[in-house]
Structure 1
Amino acid sequence: MKTVLKILSTVLIFTFVTISNAQNVPLERNYFQLSPRIGYDFPSYNNDTPYIDYKGGIDLGISFDYYFNWFGLGADFDFIKNKPKSTYPTNLGTINTTLIENGITRLFYGIGPNAQIRSSSGKFKTEFNTRFGLASIKGGRTLLTNITSSPPKMLNFHAGYNLSNVFSFKGQVKLTYFLSKNFGFNVGTYYLKHFNTKELLDPSLGISAGYQPFNDDEGHITIKEGNPKVRAEPCNCGISSIGLFAGVTIKFNKTKVCPVCGKEHTPFCCSTCGCSVTITAKDKYTGETLPNTDVVLADINGNIVQSATTNSYGVVVFKEVKEDNYLIRGKLYGVTLEEGSITKEEFKNCKQNTEGIQKVIEYADRNFILQGQAVVCNTNKPLSGVSVFLKHSSKAEEKRTVTDNKGEYIFHINENATYTIRGKKDNYFSQIETVSTSNYNRNTTLFVKLEVCLTYVECNTTIPLKNIHFALDKDIVRENAKIELNKLVDFMKTYPLIKVELSSHTDSQGSDAYNEDLSQRRANNSAAYIISQGINPNRIVAKGYGEYRLLNHCANGVKCSDAEHEVNRRTEFKVLCPE
C-alpha cells in the first residue's frame, strides 16, 4: 500500500505541475475521443470478515469521451478481477486442509461529465472524469476445510457475492501526452466505490461468514473444540478500490466541408479555406471592452463582407474569412470607432490549431456615454416609452430620446459639463435629476449611470417636489427652486383640466402660529410663480400646513438633529379629485 500511495502522490504532483503551466491555449472543440487502458486494481472489501484478505488484480477498461471545449461528457467500462486470500494460520501440525478461493469479477459501466486542461505546449493534457453508474460483482467464495476430521470441518469461510445493478461512483484523473494531433499515451489513477454490496447467504451452511477459533501458543496452532464462530446475517457493506492504469488516446476530430475550398478539414483556420477573425472593441482611454458595438468587415472598396454585434465581452468572431485585404469598422451608439485593417500577409500566419487573426478597434471619443433607466419611483419596475429630455446647464440646447422596452436610454455628454434630465409619460410625474461630468475622469470612466424615476399620478395622492429650498425665515422662491416648479408647470400644461393643491410644510422649530404663517406665504409665492408661467389661477390652490403634518417624531419639545428636521421642511402637490 505504501508503494501505491507513492505512485498516487507522483500522479497528483504531475497533475499540479500541468495545471500550473496551463495557459489560455485554445482547445479543440466538438471532438470524440477513445481511450482503451490496462491497469492494476487495489481493492478494499469492508465485509468485516476475519482471516480473509483480498489481493489486487487486473483492470481492463475503455473510456468514450466527447468534448465540447474544456467541458465534455463521457462513459467508462471496466472489467476488474480480484481474488480473496485466506489468512487463517496453516501451521496446524498434523491437520490436513483444503482451500477453495474463487476469484471476484467486477463489471462497471457509468457516465458523467469531463473537464480538461491543456499545457502551454499543447502536448500534455490533464482530464478529470466523474462517472455514475452500475456494477455487477460476482464470486469471492472462500472455504478452508480440515479434512483430517470426520466429517471434514470448516475452518474459515466467506460466501462471496452475486450482485447485479449495484449503484457505483468513479472519480478519475488522466494525464495524456500526445505524439501527434490525434494519438497519445496516457497514465492515470481512479477511485471506485460500490454501494450496498450485500454478501451471499450460503444455502448449504446457512451462514455468510465464519471461522473456527484456535489457540496460538508461541507459534504452535491448535484448533479449539466446539462450534465455529459464524455470522448468519449477510453484511450490507461497501466495496471500494483505487487503481493505476496506462493506455492510449485516439481522437476523432469533427470535420466539415469548407464552403470556400470544398474540402473536409477540422474547424480551424487554413490558408485555402479562410481564417477565423476575432475583433475586440475597446475604449481607447479606459481599456474597457465594449458590448453592443456594431462591427463590419469590408473589402478595400468598402463593400461589407461580414457584419455582427459584439457580445457581452466586447468580442465578435468572423469565421472562414478568405485571404484578402480588409477594413474593420465599428460604431457604438452612433459614434464611429477608429478604423482597423487586415492585410493578406497576416493570413499566412494563420495555421491549424491557432486562434486565427486577432484585432482590436478603439472608441476614441472624449465624450461620456450616459446609460440611464426610467423606473417607477420607489420600485425597480422599468418604464418603456418615456420621453427623456437632457438639458445642458450653460448652453441653450436640449436633447430628447425615448426609453426602450427595458426602460433604458442613451445620451452622449461632454466632459466638465452639468446636465438636468427629466422624463415625460402620460399620467406620470417625473423627478428632475442632475449629473455633472466634472465628477468623472474620462481616462478611467466611459459609462455614467443615472436613474430617472416617475410617479403615477392619481387624485389626492401627494407627490413631493425635490429641491424647493427657502432661505431661513424667508418666503422668496429661489432660482434653483424654479427648475423643480417648472416640472409642475409642464405637467399642468400637459393635462389642462386638472386642478392642483400646492402645499408647503415646516419643521417644529419656532411657534406653531409662526410656522403656519411662514408656510402659507411660501405656498402662495410658489403658486404665484406657477401662475406667472401661464397657468390659470383657478387651477391651483396654495396651502400652508406649518408643522401640523410632520413626517417623523420631531414634534415640539423633541430633540432632533438638523437632518431630521429637514425631512419635514418640504413642498408637495396633489391632484384634486373632481367634486
Structure 2
Amino acid sequence: MKTNFKIILTMLLFGIGFQTIKAQVSKVVNTTAKQTEWQFSTRAGYDFPKYKEDFKYIDYSGGIMGGVSVNHYWNWLGLQTDFDYIKNSPKNNITNPFFVDNSAIPSAVAYSDMLTTKKDITRMFVGAGPSFRHLSNNTKFQAEFAVLAGLGTIDGGEILVEGVRKDGSKDLLTYHSGWDNEKLLTGKAQARLTYFFNKNWGIHAGAYYMHYFSGAKESSKNDILINNGYLTAGSALNVYYAENSTTAIRQDVVGESTTINAFNGQAIVRNNEDGISTSKDLMRKIDLSSFGIFAGITYRFGPNKEPKKIVEDVKANPIEKKYCIQTTAKDKYSKEILPNTDVTIIDSKGVVIKTEKTDAFGVVKFCDILPEDYIIAGKFNDVALEGNTVKKSEFKDNLTIVKEIFYADRNFIIKGKAVICNTATAINDVTIVLKNNESAVQKITNTSSKGEFTFQALENTNYTIYGKKENYLSQTMTILTKDYDRNQSLFIQLEICMDAADCGTAIALKNIHYDLNKYFIREDAKPELNRLVQFMNDNPTVKVELSSHTDSRSSNAYNLTLSQNRANAAVNYITSQGISKARLTGKGYGETKLLNRCADGINCTEAEHEMNRRTEVKVICPQ
C-alpha cells in the first residue's frame, strides 16, 4: 500500500508541476489564456485488476469499464467529479481435470470433468478532486491530469471449483468467498488527451490508476457453498478460502495410465471455527488496485460571451522600422558589373552587420536594416573596392537605398581557362605560369575544378603564359596588354590549349616552317619548339621523338634526306636550350606518311601540300 501511495503522490506532484513549469506568458493580447467552461465526458475501456492474495489456483481476469466525468475549469485549474462502473471476473487456473486421491492404496479416482461456479466482480467508484489542463492556443487540443478521492465498492467474486468423478460425485478442489458489497476509501489518478473537432464536441483517450485503501474484507455469506450442498443455510460456519490436498494428476490413455505431481502440500481451509482452520489469519482484508485505459467523447460549454481579453500590464516596446540597402559593384573605368563580389555592411562602431556576394548582375540587396550610419565595403579578386556610406537621414519609409561601389585598380584581370586542345573539356589542377617578360617576375596559380584561373596584369606590359601538368603539352601564349584599353575593359579573356602527351601518340607542332630546300630553324619556328623545351623541363624523365615530314613533290630519296636534316636541326635547337640529347630522337619520314591524297602524280593545291609538310612530337613509351 505504501508503494501505491507513493505512485499517487508522484502523479499529484506531476499534475501541479505540469502547470507551474509552463513557459512565460507572451506580452501580447491572448484570447485563450482564460477559459471558464464546463465539460461533460463519457468513456468506455478495459480494466486490469491486481488482487494482492496468495490463492494457488484462483486468478482474476480484466474486464470492461465505463464511466462519466464532469469538469469545471477556471483557466488551467478545475474540479472533476467521476463515476466508474467496472466488471472483473475470478477464474481457476487448473488446466488438467483428472485427479487421484492420495490414499495409501493406489486405487484411482479419475475425474472426468471440472466445474466452476462463480459470481462476477462488480466495482464502482464515485469521487472528486482537482484537475489540471493545458489548452492549445487554438483550443483544439487539451491535455489533462486529475487526482480524485472518494468511495469505492466491491461486490461478488465468490468462486467454487469442483472435480467431477466418473460416478458423478464431486470433490471440492478450491474455493474463495469473494466480497459482499465492501465500501472502501478509494483514490484515483487519471490522465486524458482530448481533441475538439469543433467548438463543443471532442474525442478523448486516456489511462487511470485506482487504489482501494485498507483492503477489502472477505465475505461470510458462502451462497455458492450452500447452493451446492457443502454448507447448510443458517449454519454458523463460514468458509473464506479452501484448497484441496490432492497431490497427483491422473491421465487415462487407452492401454495405460500415467500420474504426475500437481498439488503439493496439505489442505488449506480458512473458516471461522477456531481449531479447525490450519491457518492463523481467518477472515482477511485483501488489497486491491487496478490500471485501465479508455476512450470516449467530450462535450464542453460555457458562457455565451466572448472570453475577456487579458493584456499584461507592461509597457510594450515600440516596433522598430527596418529598411533595405541595394548595392551594385562596378569597375570604375569601364563601368562593367562585377558578379561574385564580396560586399559588407559595417556600422558606426566598426561591427560587421551583414556580408553577401553580388549576383550575376553585380547586385546585392540587404534588408532588415535599422536606420543608422553605415559604411559599405567590397572586395573583388582580393582587391578592396572604393566603398560608400549611408547616413541615417537617408532612410525613408517604403524606399530602398541604392548605392554603388567601384573597383579602382588600373591593372587588368586575366580570366582564363585550361582546356584540352580542339575540345571544350576543362582541365583542373593545372599550374598556370604568368611571366612578365620585361621584369622576369613570375606569378603562379592553379586552375579550379572548372579549369578556371585569374591573374592581375599591368598595363603596357609583355607577358608569356602557359600551363604545367604531368603528361600534358601546353600552348604558350604571349599577352601584350598595350593592345587592350583599360578604359574599355577590365578583363582579358583567354584559353590555354593543352595536348594530352600520351606515349606513342603524335602531336603536331604548329608553325614549324622551313625555307625551300633548307633545314635551318627559322625565328618564327622557335616559339613552338620552346613549348616543347618547356614540356621536357616540366617532365624531366620523358623522352621524345621529333619527326619531320615533307610533301610528295621531289623524289622520295631527296625528301627522305631533307626531312632527316630538318629533324636533326630541331633536335639540335632543343639541345641548345639545355635538354639532354639522350632524351631526344630525330626521325625523317620524307613523304612516307602523307595525311591526305596528295601522293606522286596527284594534282593538289598548295594548301593540301602544306598539310603534309609538318613536324610532330611523340612521347616514347618506356620499354
Larger Rg: 2
TM-score normalised over the length of structure 1:
0.49
